[in-house]
Amino acid sequence: MVQSFVFTIEEINKNPKLLPNFTLGFSIWDSGSSELGALWGTMALVTGQGCLIPNYACAPPESHLAAILGEDRSALSIPMAMWLGLYRTPQVSYGSTASVLSNKRRFPSFLRTLPPDEARARGMARLAAHLDVYAVGLVAQDDDYGQHGKQALQSELEAAGLCVHVTAELPSSPNGKKLWEVVHLLAVAKPLVLLVFSRAQELLLLAAELHEAHPGRLWICSEVWDPAAVAALLPQPAGRQALRGALAFSGHRGRIPGFADFLGRLHPSQGSEDPFLVPFWEETFRCRWIHNSSSPRGRGRAPGGLLRGQRGGHASEAESCTGQERLAGRALPFLDMSDLSVTYAVANAVSCVAHALHDMALCEAGDGPFGDGRCADMPKFQPWQLLHYLRRVRFRNSHGEEVAFDVHGDPPALYDIMRWQPGPWGSAPFQEIATFHGTASQELQLRVNASGLTLEWKAEQLQNSSTCPETCPRGTWRTSKSGQASCCFACAQCPEGQVSEHKADATTCERCPDDSLWPSPSRDRCELQPDVFLQFGDPLGAVLASLGVWLSLVTGVVLLVFVRHRHTPLVRASSPGLSALLLTSLFLCSLSSLLFLGRRSRFDCQLRQVAFSFTFTVAVSCVLARTAVVLMAFRAVQPASFLQMCLGPGLPWAMVAGPFVVQACICIVWLWAAHDDRNTSLAPNTAPPECREALSPGFWVIMGLLALAGFVLALLTRQLPGGFCEAHLLTLSMAICVSVWLASLPAQIHSRGRAVAAAVQAFSILTSNAALLGFIFLPRCFIILLRPHRNNRAWLMGRPPARLQSRGRCLE
C-alpha cells in the first residue's frame, strides 16, 4: 500500500497534463494499528509539526496539507473522521468499509475508494440468490465489522426472498469454547450454503473445525485471505481442502500500469526514507545491509527488531549484502500483481485528490463555485474548498476505469468474486469467476464468466439438496421446523378433507365451499365426486336386498295365513286387528330397508328415514299394546277398579295411535328444520358425501321408549298363568330388538367409508323385524298349518285332552 501511494504520486508529478506547475509532496504516519496512534498522527499532519497545537496550522505555505488518506480499518477511520470533520479536512480511506461512515451528518469530510459493507452484503445476497437455494446459514464476527455486516446481510437476504435458518457469532478473540459451540450449531443445522462476514483469520479457524465435523458445503465469504495464512493456521492437507470451492468477495482488483517495474527497481541504496525497505531487503536476500550507515535501519521506530526476532537474533552472523541484489525477476509475493484490490484503492485515492486539486486550479474568476463566483486561492486554499471539488470528482484512471463518488462519498459497488481452488504449489489458488456491479440493473449486476461455469453445476447440486424448501406446492401448507427460524419451514400435506388450491405457499388448508365438491387425492383442488352408496350389485348389497325381499315375502305369507284363518280361536285370541297391523308394519318396514341401497337423491335420504321411523314405531306400538292389554286383563280382577275402567276395545288402538301421532310430529319438524341430509356433520370432509344414516335424537325418543316399555311389560307377563304361553317369546323378541339397536347406533355414528352406516341400519331393521316375526307369529303359523288339532279353545286355555297333557308344556 505504501509503495502504491509513493508510485502514484511520482506518476502524477511526472504527468504534464495533471497539476502543471504544482508538485505533490507527502508524509506517511504509522498509526501502529491503534486509535491513539491514528489520532496522534492525524493531529500531527493537521498542525504540520510533531508538537501538537490544536486549531493551528504551523506548516510552511509550501507544504500546505491538502488531504489525509487512511485508515484501512474502520475502527481507526471513525475517530479520525470525527476529528477531521470539525475542520472539514478531506479524508479519503482506501480500506474502511463500515456502512456508518456513509453518514454525512456525522462524517461530512469522509470519502473512500472501497465500497461500504452494505454493498458487499448486497452482492453476497445476490450471489446466494443466483445459486437458486432458499435456506442459508449466516456467521458473523462478534465485533462492529461483523455485526454491521450481519444486519445489512440479513436485510438483503430478506429482500432477495432467502431464508436465514441458522445464525452464529464467531469470536474475534481466541476462544476455543465459543468456537466449538459455533461449530456444533452449524453441524446440527447443516446449512449447505454458509455466508460468513468475518476477517480471514477467524474464518480459517472455523473452516478447519467445521470441515472435520460436517464437510461438504459452499462458503460465501466477505473477504479473501492470504494463501500463506492457510498454511500457517490450518493443518495440511485438511487446511487446503476445508474451503475448497469457497467464494470470496474482493474489492475490484484493477491494474496499475508500470507498478511492477517500480517495485522491481526498489533498492536501499536509493536513500529512500521508507523504514521498512532495509529490513525487507535483509529478510528477502538473507544478508546484512551495511552500505548506508545513514539508512533508517538503526533509528528508533525502524522495524529491524522484528527481523532479528524472526531470524532468531542471528542477523549479525549473515553475510553482508553486496548491493547487486535486485528484486526484479524474483518469484516473491511482494511482486505478485494478481491481487491489487487494496493497493488499487490506494492509487485511486491519491488520484482523486490530485484531480480535485487540478479542477480547483482550473477555476476562473467569476465562474467559481463559491460566493459571487469566487475561486479558491490555490496557494492558500481552505480544506472545505478542496472537499467541494473532491466530492464531485470524476475521471478515468490509468487503467481506463471511471472513478467517482456518490452523494455519500462512496464509490460504485464493484467487486470481484473469487473462488478458492488450491492446486499445485505455485499456482494461483484464487480464480476470478464473476463480478458484481451494484449500480447496474438487476439482471446485469452479477456476471459469471466462462471460467465460472462450474458454479452452475454447484447450484444444481445445492438445489437438489436444500434443507429448506423454497416454496410449498398446492395441496400442502407451510409448517415451521422445530429449532429453526420461522422462515425455514416444512411442506406438510393438507389434512384429510381439506385443500390448498388457490396458491402455493398456503399457510392453512381449507374445506371445499360446497358439499357437492370434494378434495382431490392430491388435495390441491376441489372436484365433483359421485355420491357414495351401497350398490345392489355389491356382495353386501345383494345379501341385504335378498334378505329384505325374502323377509317381506315371508311377512306377506304370514299375513295371508292370518287373514285366511281369522275365524279360528288362535287368531281370534291374538287380537286380529293388532296382528294384522303389526304384520303390515313389519312388511313395510322390511321393504324400507331396500331404500338404503342404491343411489339416492336428497329427497330419498329423507324419505327412507321417515318411512322406517313410521313403520317401526307402529310395529313396536302394536307389540306394546298387545302385551299391555293381556297384562291388564290378568291384573284387573277387582270390579270397578282403575284397570277395569281403562280396559276396553279402544285401548289398544289408542296405544298405537298416540305414539304414531307423536312420531309424525317429530318427522314433520325434522323435515322442516333439516337443511341438508348429507353426512357432513359426523365425519366432515373426510369422505365423499353420503346420506345421513344416524337419526337425530328426536327420532329415537318415541321408538326407544316404546321398545323399552315393551321389553319391561314382556318381562312382567312371564309371571302370568301358564295359559299365556307367548310371554317368553315376547320377552325374547323385545330383548333382541333392544340389543340390536343399542349395538347398531354407535356403529352408525362412527362408521366411515362406502355407506357402512346404511348397511348397518338396513341390517338392524331386518334383524329386529325377523325377531318380531319369528318369535311372535311363526309359532302360531306352525299350529295353524301343521297342528290344526291344537287350534281350539281347550288348548288355548291350557287344558288339552288328558292323553296329550304334558306337565309344564305349552305349545310344543
CATH number of the domain encompassing residue 705: 1.20.1070.10
Domain membership flag for residue 800:
no
Question: Domain residues for 211?
Answer: 117-254+414-460
pLDDT tens-place string over residues 43-74: 888 887 667 777 887 877 667 889 999 898 88
Enter the C-alpha cell of residue 15.
504527468
Residue type, 534: L
Nearest to 325 by CA among 264, 272, 271: 264
In a domain, 333, yes or no: no
In which band, very low, low, confident or very high, does the pLDDT at 697 lie, cut at 50, 70 and 90? low
Question: What is d(CA 627, CA 625) in angstroms, rounded to the nearest whole number?
Answer: 5
Residue type, 686: T
Q: Are residues 588 and 698 in the same domain?
A: yes
The pLDDT value given to residue 348: 96
- pLDDT band for position 14 (cuts 50, 70, 90): very high
The band of 371, judged by pLDDT with boundaries at 50, 70 and 90, is: confident
Asked if residue 512 lies in contact with residue 518, where contact means CB atoms within 8 angstroms, the answer is yes
Q: Could you tell me which residue, 414 or 463, shows the higher pLDDT?
A: 414
Q: Kindly report the backbone phi and psi dihedral angles of residue 714, in degrees, each rounded to the nearest multiple of 5, phi listed first.
A: -65, -35
pLDDT value, residue 123: 92
Hey, what amino acid is at 506?
A
pLDDT score of 81 = 96
Please state the rounded mean pLDDT for residues 614-619: 82
Q: Is residue 760 part of a domain?
A: yes
> Would the pLDDT of 251 be above 80?
yes
Task: Return d(Cα 541, Cα 598) in angstroms, integer.
Answer: 8
Using the CB atoms, write b or e for 767-804: b if 16+ within 10 Å.
bbbbbbbbbbbeebbebbeeeeebbeeebbeeebeeee
Percent of the chain with pLDDT over 70: 75
Residue 62 lies in a domain: yes
User: In terms of pLDDT, which residue wins out, 442 or 552?
Assistant: 552
* DSSP E strands, 22-85: 68-69
pLDDT at 485 over 80: no
For residue 477, the model assigns a pLDDT of 78
Mean local confidence (pLDDT), 121-128: 91
CATH of the domain at 66: 3.40.50.2300
Q: Is 627 or 524 the better-scoring residue by pLDDT?
A: 524
> What 8-state DSSP symbol labels residue 605?
H
Dig out the grid coordinates for 258 from the structure. 508500470
Instruction: Note the residue count of the chain.
Output: 812
Contact 198, 141 (CB under 8 A): yes
The owner of cell 291350557 is 798
Q: 114: pLDDT confidence band, cut at 50, 70 and 90?
A: very high
Q: What is the pLDDT of residues 188-226, one digit of tens each?
A: 888 888 999 988 888 888 888 887 766 778 899 998 887
Question: Which band of pLDDT confidence, cut at 50, 70 and 90, is reported for residue 365?
Answer: confident
Task: Give the pLDDT confidence score for residue 306 in this predicted structure.
Answer: 27
Q: For residue 677, what pLDDT is reported?
A: 46
Same domain flag for 155 and 122: yes
Q: Could you give the dihedral angle defined by the CA atoms of residues 648, 653, 655 and 659, in that order, rounded to the nearest 10 degrees?
A: -160
**H helix runs in 322-415, sequence order:** 341-361, 383-391
The total of structural domains in the chain comes to 5
pLDDT higher than 80, residue 723: no
Q: In this structure, what is the dihedral angle of CA atoms 217, 222, 227, 231, given to the nearest 10 degrees?
A: -60
Q: What is the CA radius of gyration of the chain?
A: 51
Residue with cell 275365524: 567
Question: Do residues 149 and 208 share a domain?
Answer: yes
Give the count of alpha carbons within 13 A of 228, CB side only.
Answer: 3
pLDDT at residue 7 tops 50: yes
Residue with the bigger pLDDT between 710 and 790: it is 790
Bigger pLDDT: 390 or 575? Answer: 390
Of 48 and 259, the one with more pLDDT: 259
Q: Give the model's confidence band at 759: pLDDT under 50 very low, under 70 low, under 90 confident, else very high.
A: confident
Q: Are residues 599 and 740 in the same domain?
A: yes
Q: 169: which strand partners?
A: 140
Could you count the other beta carbons within 10 Å of the beta carbon of residue 711?
Answer: 22
Give me the pLDDT at residue 249, please: 92
pLDDT of residue 481: 62
Q: How many CB atoms lie within 10 A of CB 370?
A: 13
Alpha-carbon distance of 375 to 373, in angstroms, equals 7
Residues 282/318, Cβ–Cβ less than 8 Å: yes
What Å distances lie between residue 491 and 408, 471, 488, 506, 683, CA to CA? 44, 8, 10, 9, 25
DSSP 272: -
Checking if the pLDDT of 27 tops 80, the result is yes
Say whether both 556 and 698 belong to one domain. Answer: yes
Has residue 261 been placed in a domain? no
> What mean pLDDT do residues 168-191 have?
86
Round to whole Å and give the CA distance between 718 and 734.
13
**Which residue carries 452449524 as its cell?**
186
Query: What nine digits make up the cell of 132?
Result: 437458486
| Rounded CA separation 618/658 (Å) | 10
Cα separation, 550 vs 769, in Å, equals 12
Q: Which are the contacts of 293, defined by CB distance < 8 A and separation ≥ 6?
A: none
Nearest CA-CA partner of 506 in 520, 523, 518: 523
User: Which band of pLDDT confidence, cut at 50, 70 and 90, is reported for residue 724?
Assistant: very low
The average confidence (pLDDT) of the chain is: 78
Count Cα neighbours of 763 within 13 Å in the Cβ-side half-sphere.
Answer: 17
Q: Please determine, for residue 549, whether its predicted confidence score (pLDDT) is greater than 70.
A: yes
pLDDT tens-digit profile of 374-431? 999 888 899 999 999 999 999 999 888 999 999 999 999 999 998 888 766 545 678 8
d(CA 209, CA 154): 25
Q: Is 48 part of a structural domain of the chain?
A: yes
What's the pLDDT score for residue 768?
84
**Amino acid 664: pLDDT:** 79
Do 632 and 752 belong to one domain? yes
Neighbours of 333 (CB within 10 A): 10
In a domain, 635, yes or no: yes
- Residue pair 88/109 in contact (Cβ under 8 Å)? The answer is yes
Gap between the Cα atoms of 148 and 100, Å rounded = 9
Kind of pairing, strands 414-420 and 247-251?
antiparallel
What is the rounded distance in angstroms from the CA atom of residue 742 to the CA atom of residue 807?
38
For residues 209-222, one letter each, b for 16 or more C-beta atoms within 10 angstroms of the residue's C-beta and e for the rest, the string is bbbeebeebbbbbb
Higher pLDDT, 316 or 289: 289
Q: From 650, 632, 651, select the one nearest 642 (Cα to Cα).
A: 632
How far does the chain reach from its first CA to its final CA, in angstroms? 125
pLDDT of residue 451 exceeding 50, the answer is: yes
CB contact burial 280-315 (16+ within 10 A = b; e otherwise): bbbeebebbbeeeeebbbeeeebbbeebeeeeeeeb
Across-strand partners of 395? 403
Neighbours of 359 (CB within 10 A): 18
Q: Are residues 105 and 122 in the same domain?
A: no
Question: What is the per-residue pLDDT across 262-283, written as a single tens digit (0 to 9) for each?
Answer: 999 998 888 667 888 889 999 8
pLDDT in tens, 295-349: 443 333 332 222 333 334 444 567 888 888 899 888 887 888 877 888 999 999 9
Q: Where is average pLDDT lowest: 28-42, 83-97, 503-517?
A: 503-517
Neighbours of 705 (CB within 10 A): 14
Q: Are residues 625 and 763 both part of a single domain?
A: yes
Inter-CA distances, 234 with 221, 366, 631, 655, Å? 17, 64, 105, 101
Instruction: Provide the pLDDT for residue 688.
Output: 44
Cβ(589)–Cβ(769) under 8 Å?
yes
Nine-digit cell at 557? Answer: 305369507
Q: 140 and 288 share a domain?
A: no
Q: How far apart are CA 315 and CA 298, in angstroms?
A: 13
- For residue 487, the domain's CATH number is 2.10.50
Q: Could you tell me which residues are beta bridge partners of residue 320?
A: 288
pLDDT of 592 > 80? The answer is yes
Q: Are both 649 and 715 inside the same structural domain?
A: yes
* Residue 671 shares a structural domain with residue 788: yes
DSSP 193-209: EEEEES-HHHHHHHHHH
Cα 349 to Cα 182, 339, 771, 778: the distances in Å are 38, 17, 107, 116
Same domain, residue pair 121 and 101: no
Q: Is residue 601 part of a domain?
A: yes
